[in-house]
Copies of this chain bind each other. A is one copy, B any other.
Amino acid sequence: MYRLREEKVFKDPVHQSIYVQEATIWKLINTAEFQRLRRIRQLGTSYLTFHGAEHSRFSHSLGVYDITRRIISQFERNGYQDWPQEEKMVSLCASLLHDVGHGPFSHAIEQVFDTDHEEWSCAIILGDTEINQVLKEVSEDFPQQVAAVICKNYDKPIVVSLVSSQMDADRMDYLLRDAYFTGVNYGTFDLDRILRVLRPYRGRIVVKESGMHAVEDYLMSRYQMYWQIYFHPVTRSSDIVLRQIFMRARELYREGYAFKFLLPPLAQLLNGTIGLRDYLALDEAMVQTAFGQWSDEEDDILADLCKRFLNRRLYKYVPLEGYHETLEAKLRQAWEEIGLHPDYHLQMDTPTNLPYDVYKPGSPDPEPKEKTPVLVLDDKDRLTEISLKSDIVRSIAGLHTGKYYIYYPEDLVLPHIDRLKPEIRELLGL
């Protein structure tokens, strides 16, 4: 019924070939909403640190779909009883669409405007969209099912665990893909091996004990990718400049500032009233075009921030031994004395700001506790949380606590350097 007459093949640099056999998947890929992901980078502003990281959420989404397809195919080939075969289609669709709600430079926009890409994904799946149309062809309630998987309240937890858990297809694809495009080799692990040792087991995806070392290697890769790539201080700097652009623009908008250039989706974003249709019109092209136009705005702070972002004149970063409120207060005061803006020209970055997603097994604290731990299945059918078996996993869990940094525009401070106290200059590394 949904089978394509001839399978479609995408040439993919990470997985070599991505196969599409179902008509529904093929149609979903060809919707306007899915094609829009081509205009949204997978790694946000990371391309300003690693110039190869220009890949889009489009290719990542295809990759997640492909890994999910391979996992299910392995389950089917081995005839595992614990895998509910009728869940294949909803799993494939959810894996393909899980990121469809991402906006331009998602993390920054989510932080400033308090939006949530998963909610948008569900809104797109359930709203008046081409995607919704395609899913409805499967069955009337199929869109709801797919959305439920993405929002993690689907009634078959094994499907949710395939799409979002510590060993999900999403993480496996992004580690390999981001490593490939940045050009580092931290992110490489043995995907084939991992796919081979996954098992459906009583409503979860677990790992055969013989594959434990491959999982260690995967978790280690993830650890390294976080600290080497995702939290790279230069990328934090470009994220900060980006957030400050949005904060300044919103502030000006609220003050009634007359922007020379402001397309409706952006106005609504600043306004906090953006709807589905306009959200879908937002992409990184529009944001960058706005930044280009805002580089000529009369508001100096906004114009300066936009030029910094486009021309990569980012904020300098200086590591701190630790953070004290008094220290920040002193800096803000010094900034005011030399005529800089203490909000827009200064940013303290603390480790708690990091979107930390490293595996945290069996933590005693209630909060950061892992909801989807990696479970190891031994040959006597016993399940054990991996950190109880693996010294390495235990040792990397939660060990890195991140550093404190000050970010500021060095070029704006330098002319006033004589007016800064020695204590402040030392702090700034000047």
A192 cross-chain contacts in B, Cβ below 8 A = 16-17
Q: Is A375 an interface residue (CB 8 A)?
A: no
Q: Tell me, in angstroms, the Cα distance from A182 to B392 when the chains sit together.
A: 23
Chain A interface residue count, CB cutoff 8 Å, equals: 70
Given A17-B193, A285-B284, A288-B285, A11:B50 Cβ within 8 A = yes
Among A10, A192, A312, find the residue whose CB has the most chain B CB atoms closer than 10 A: A312
Which listed residue (B184, B293, B307, B312) contacts A190, Cβ 8 A? B184
Nearest residue in B to A229 (C-beta to C-beta)?
B11
Q: Is A297 an interface residue (CB 8 A)?
A: no
**Interface of chain A: mostly helix, strand, loop or mixed:** helix
Which listed residue (B185, B193, B196) contacts A189, Cβ 8 A? B185
* A183 pairs with B13, CB closer than 8 A: yes
Q: Tell me, in angstroms, the Cα distance from A118 to B81 when the chains sit together.
A: 46
Contact with B along A35-49 (1 / 0, CB 8 A): 110110000000110
Q: Tell me, in angstroms, the Cα distance from A52 to B394 when the chains sit together.
A: 33
Given A12-B183, A58-B51, A286:B292 Cβ within 8 A = yes
Nearest residue in B to A63 (C-beta to C-beta)?
B51
Nearest Cβ distance between residue A97 and chain B, in whole angstroms? 16
Interface residues of A in 383-430 (CB under 8 A from B): 391-392, 394-396, 399-400
Which listed residue (B17, B31, B38, B285) contacts A289, Cβ 8 A? B285
Nearest residue in B to A286 (C-beta to C-beta)?
B289
Q: Tell me, in angstroms, the Cα distance from A383 to B390 when the chains sit together.
A: 32
Which listed residue (B54, B220, B312) contacts A220, Cβ 8 A? B220
Contact with B along A188-213 (1 / 0, CB 8 A): 11101100100000000000000001
Which listed residue (B16, B30, B54) contacts A183, Cβ 8 A? B16
Nearest Cβ distance between residue A321 and chain B, in whole angstroms? 13
Q: Is A227 an interface residue (CB 8 A)?
A: yes
Q: Is A32 an interface residue (CB 8 A)?
A: yes
Which listed residue (B10, B62, B186, B193) contacts A217, Cβ 8 A? B186
Nearest Cβ distance between residue A66 and chain B, in whole angstroms? 12
Nearest Cβ distance between residue A269 and chain B, in whole angstroms? 15
* A224 pairs with B228, CB closer than 8 A: no
* A182 pairs with B13, CB closer than 8 A: yes
Among A183, A284, A396, find the residue whose CB has the most chain B CB atoms closer than 10 A: A183
Among A31, A189, A395, find the residue whose CB has the most chain B CB atoms closer than 10 A: A395
Interface residues of A in 322-377 (CB under 8 A from B): none
* A213 pairs with B224, CB closer than 8 A: yes
* A35 pairs with B395, CB closer than 8 A: no
* A181 pairs with B283, CB closer than 8 A: no
Q: Is A320 an interface residue (CB 8 A)?
A: no
Q: Is A4 an interface residue (CB 8 A)?
A: no
Q: Tell me, in angstroms, the Cα distance from A391 to B223 when the chains sit together.
A: 12
Contact with B along A47-81 (1 / 0, CB 8 A): 11011101110110010000000000000000000
* A184 pairs with B54, CB closer than 8 A: no
Interface residues of A in 270-309 (CB under 8 A from B): 281, 283-289, 292-293, 307
Contact with B along A1-32 (1 / 0, CB 8 A): 00000000111111011000000000000111
* A52 pairs with B51, CB closer than 8 A: no
A55 cross-chain contacts in B, Cβ below 8 A = 52, 54
* B188 pairs with A185, CB closer than 8 A: yes
Nearest Cβ distance between residue A211 and chain B, in whole angstroms? 11
* A9 pairs with B58, CB closer than 8 A: no
Task: List residues of A whose CB falls within 8 A of some B CB.
Answer: 9-14, 16-17, 30-32, 35-36, 38-39, 47-48, 50-52, 54-56, 58-59, 62, 180-186, 188-190, 192-193, 196, 213, 216-217, 220, 223-224, 227-228, 263, 281, 283-289, 292-293, 307, 310-313, 391-392, 394-396, 399-400
8 more CB-based (< 8 A) A-B contacts, given A284-B285, A285-B288: A13-B52, A14-B183, A17-B196, A30-B311, A30-B312, A38-B54, A54-B54, A391-B400
